[in-house]
């Protein structure tokens, strides 16, 4: 399977959420343990948006963004909030 068709699951803390020109959202992440710094939520996903400061676990495809020199989860297929201080998931905030 080519790299660009792979699925990933990533944990991180939301730094900011910004609207994209295509109607989607870019979520900037930190504390991911690697080079992944962003996640793209397309408008067709129908997902709610995480809030800055949320610790989240997200799943989706991965791609390298050469313009920004980072890896991104794109598109995000689902995400969940992680309870502070541990890896237990709170009730899902996504529709999946």
Smallest Cα–Cα separation from 21: which of 44, 47, 43? 43
What is the model's pLDDT at position 92?
Answer: 47
pLDDT per position as a tens digit, 23-53: 999 999 999 888 778 999 999 999 999 999 9
**What sign for the dihedral angle of Cα 45, 27, 49, 14?**
positive
CATH assignment, 3-81 = 2.40.50.140
| pTM attached to this predicted model | 0.80
Domain ranges of the chain: 3-81
pLDDT per position as a tens digit, 50-85: 999 999 999 999 988 898 888 899 999 999 999 776
């Amino acid at each position: 399977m080519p790299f660009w068709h792979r699925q990933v699951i990533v944990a991180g803390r939301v730094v900011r959420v910004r609207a994209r020109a295509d109607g989607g959202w870019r979520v900037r992440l930190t504390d991911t343990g690697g080079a992944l710094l962003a996640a793209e939520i397309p408008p067709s996903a129908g997902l709610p948006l995480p809030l800055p400061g949320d610790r989240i676990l997200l799943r989706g495809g991965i791609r390298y963004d050469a313009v920004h020199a980072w890896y991104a989860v794109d598109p995000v297929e689902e995400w969940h909030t992680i309870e502070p201080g541990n890896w237990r998931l709170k009730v899902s905030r996504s529709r999946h």
